[in-house]
Each structure stands twice: as structure tokens, then as C-alpha cells.
Structure 1
């Protein structure tokens, strides 16, 4: 489908574009694509057919067009006013996981963590089991240095292939990302389309047992069957965010349809019809109460995007 011309009216109109082989949707609802099940539409949602489709499309966008990638939508609040510019969602063509030499896995940016971990297990590659506990895609956890159960992406990443907002595809080695806790120097608007992870030799049975342990621990401690967004706040140095939220008396606190989970105090949940404003507002109220009670200023781990 072609993007409409600038004269087609309305905010977010794109100039005449070459045909795309994927799917380009105007005013695309995003609430069904995120775990919280709330939020407004994208001006444009682009689901590219493959890497060439993506780079060609971005190369023809005006320079000032915002571009944002979305994965499984697990660590994300889409604000109620929607997202300006273009949201890119990587599909099947970007979800492959392949075993290479020397216990290396080459993964598409759209591959979910559980697929990466399972492929590593089946190939007898250890060290990637923790990805079973990250509810996101390779692109998301490479960008934010995702981690769980004592390990993080910085421990296993070799390098990644990234498409910049101008359509250029570049390779970035791990060192250039300057990883820190839940943070990287990946350029704004850059889309991770592939990454290579280094593992070590391992016994598939032992690897599988560790993955099962992680899955069981997550099920027991986190509200996985609720509309949630994963861990809400980063752990401050030497402290646990959930303990600070508890100390401030916020477990079970609610605003509108949003509530602090009674099962895990560092999770917010949509109890039914919460708006994104409810969810974000609840998070800010928790931050205020924690700062007042403990003197600690919690930092958001969940990414919040779009127009209020």
C-alpha cells in the first residue's frame, strides 16, 4: 500500500512514498499491541516485509518524522493521545534465531526472548537462560540492556545491526553501546533488526531445568495473567524498588482503573478499563509517596511514549 500524500489532510500525513511490500496503516490502534491494553493510535503503523522494505521506507521519510519501534509491548505505556510519526513493528521476517559457530546465536530484532532461550537450550548453548524471564523481543532488550535473574544483555551481546531513522543500516559492537543498568547509548529512533549473542557449551537438560525454574519463579511472584507492563521502576543502587513501594504503603493503591499489584508491588496493572493516564498517574503518585517516605526518587523502567 502507498502512503498518502501530504495533501491528504490531517496531522501526521506523509509525503508521496514509494510502494511498500509490508503493511502501512494510518491512525492504527496500538492498545491491542501493548500488555496494558490502553493508549491511543499511531499516526502510522508500518509492518515491513523485510529489511530492504524497512530501509527503503525510512530513507524516504522526511527527516523530522518521529520513528519508534515496538516489540511485544510489555514494557510500554502508550499515552492516550497516541504516538506521532511512524511506529514500526517487526514481524516474522525479523523473528528468526539461528545457531552459528562457537556457541553464537544470531537473532532477528523481533525474536521473543523465550524463542532465543529455547533455541539455545536445544543447541546445548548455556548462558542465555535468563532471556526466558524477559517478556520482550531482542530489539527491546538490546536497547534497554534487559536483564533478569542476575544476568543482563551486556553479558552476552557481541554486536547488533541497527537501522537508523534515515534508513542506513549499521553494525554497532557492544562496546559502543556503553551499557549501564537498563540503559544504552543506542540512538533515538534506531531500530535493532539483528543481534548476535555469545553463549557457552552446556547440557540441554541442565539448561532446560534452569529455564523451568525461572518460569516457575515468575509465575509465583509476578501478576503475569493481568494487564501489566512488567517491572515499573528501576532498582535503586543497593535497594529493591518493590520494597520501597511497600514501605511507602502503596501495595494495592489504585487510581481509576489502574492499581499497584497486590502480588508484586513493582508492577502496575490495568484492572479493566484503565486509561494510560490512570496508569502513568498512579506511577507518579507512587514515586511521590516513595520519595516522601524514604527520600529515594524512583526512576521509571517502563517506557512512556506519545501525546498525553
Structure 2
């Protein structure tokens, strides 16, 4: 992949080489991506996909809020949708947002338009694209509850469209093909009272601030809740609250959050997560499923990292 940039199609957007993924994730960790591509619009993205060699790995990302990029970085092309593809509009009670738009911005847009039903999005730290990919949810609602149809492209640049049922959306899960890149989603809202909408959103923001760590590097909820239970309760029961590996730590405030106390590596964060899973299982709890997506090349020691440079 040393000559990767010479193999990529001409685009209207930007290519960046060897850009550290730590600058594109909430955890603030991650080695360099071979190339980061920021398409200016859907046509630019479609053109890139249609003319990009099939053997070149691609990875779409949004805000990087629920992403752990390993220290070795990412092979191929990372497609970053948040730079340009974040337009939001509505027609009646249907709100359509490009997938680079932040969930919170969609909630605020709907509020200003006097539309209710999307308030829960203010409590999800991520983008519409990430929400579709993992059926993100909070405060009793999920993306599958509001999404009418999602649009995008497959790996070859062909347009795709699918409903939540067609994507097999379930709790923190979607069966949508891994090579689909979502570009927009139409969401169903309904007329509402401005004051009531604003009040509900303030309640969610306050609740989130009271219950979750703030002002620290984190990746949101680490593990999906097990059937009939809460991940944080299982982690607490296993004695993992405050547990640390290097500069990575289980939050004292909400133990389903891992935090980077400053200078943590992706390896430390992932090792901490796997340690938590093992302790929960050993204490008679469930086999917790990662909700955070872990990607990239592994560097297991600093010596290996030095050798690779």
C-alpha cells in the first residue's frame, strides 16, 4: 500500500495521507490511516467507489464517538463523512439528514421545526450513519423506531435503499451488508409543542450529564446490555469500577464507560475492556458484547511500534 495514493481515482474532495486516527476519534487514540478521503457530496463518493480498485480496503467513519482504532492504524482508505455530508432538511413531518450529521444536530433541527419524536437523539454521541449501522438508541427509543428508509451505496458505487426491517435492525445491531455506506436517512417525526420538546431535550441532556462521565476522553457505552440486565451492573458486581490498565480506566461514575485519562494507548483500552469481560464472566455474569467497534492493525508493544516506524 506504499503507492496507494497513486491508485486512487481523481475526486473533488480531499485525500490526506498518514493522518493519525487519534485526531478523528473521541478516545483520542489510534495510529495513522493510509489515506483519509473526505467526499464533498454523494456524487463524489459514488464516483470514488465506482473507480476504486476492489482490493483496496475502505472504512466509512463519522464522529468516531463509538470507535476504537488500534495503535497500528488503518489499512486502505478511511472515508470521513462529517466534513461535508451533514445537511438536514424536512418535508412536513419527515426529517431527512445526511449521515455525516450529528444525532444531536438532528434533534435540535427537529425541535426548531416543531417536530417531536426525535428528542432522544440529543442523548446519542454520534452521527446518523453510525446510528444506522448499529441501531443506536437511548432513553427508550432506537434508530429503527424512527427510520423510514436509508440510502447509500455499495462497495461498487451502486445506489442502495433499505428500510429498518430490510436491514434486520435489532437491539444495537443491524444486518446491513458491511460494505454498504449510508449517505442519508429519512426519519418520521410528528407535530409537537415547542416548549414540551425543549423541556424533554433538556431533561435528557441533564440526565446524561448526571449519569455519565463528562470532560474526559471516552467512547460512550462500551458493552451492549445483556438480555434482561444492565452491563454496568454486571461490571460493578464483578468489582471492576475504577479498574485501570495503564492510562485507561473504567469510569468511577458509570462503569460501562472506559476512559482515557491522558496518554492511554488503544492497546491499553482494549486490554482493559477484555479484562472487564473476563472478570464478569468469571464471576458468573454474561459474556458481554462489545458495543464499541474495534478496528485497525495491532501493535502489541512499544518496541514493535518503534521497529515499524
Partner of 1:67: 58
Distance in 2, Cα, partners of 1:39 & 1:18 = 26
1:44 aligns with 2:35: yes
Partner of 1:291: 281
- Deviation digits for residues 191-223 of structure 1, max 9, x if unmatched? 111000001221011011000000001111111
- Report if the CA contact (8 A) 1:66-1:189 is conserved: no
- Report if the CA contact (8 A) 2:241-2:250 is conserved: yes
Map 1:269-280 onto structure 2 (within 5 A): 269-280=259-270
Moved over 4 A (4+): none
Is 178-187 or 239-248 further displaced after alignment? Answer: 178-187
Deviation at 1:301, TM superposition (A): 0.3
Deviation at 1:92, TM superposition (A): 4.7
CA RMSD of aligned residues (A): 1.2
Partner of 2:84: 93
Distance in 2, Cα, partners of 1:228 & 1:92 = 22
- Report if the CA contact (8 A) 2:134-2:174 is conserved: yes
Pick from 14, 20, 27: which aligns with 1:29? Answer: 20
- Report if the CA contact (8 A) 1:79-1:306 is conserved: yes
Distance in 2, Cα, partners of 1:31 & 1:138 = 21
Partner of 2:75: 84
Pick from 234, 243, 255: which aligns with 1:244? Answer: 234
- Deviation digits for residues 73-100 of structure 1, max 9, x if unmatched? 1101000111111110013531111011
Structure 2: which 5+ residue stretches go unaligned? 299-309
Deviation at 1:242, TM superposition (A): 0.3
Is 161-170 or 177-186 further displaced after alignment? Answer: 161-170
Q: Which secondary structure does the structure 1 equivalent of 2:166 belong to?
A: helix
Partner of 1:196: 186
TM-score, scaled relative to structure 2: 0.94
Map 1:246-261 onto structure 2 (within 5 A): 246-261=236-251
Deviation at 1:64, TM superposition (A): 2.1
Deviation at 1:26, TM superposition (A): 1.6
Partner of 1:156: 146
Distance in 2, Cα, partners of 1:17 & 1:111 = 26
TM-score, scaled relative to structure 1: 0.94
Query: How many residue pairs were aligned?
Result: 298
Q: Which secondary structure does the structure 2 equivalent of 1:56 belong to?
A: helix
Deviation at 1:224, TM superposition (A): 2.4
Structure 1: which 5+ residue stretches go unaligned? 1-8
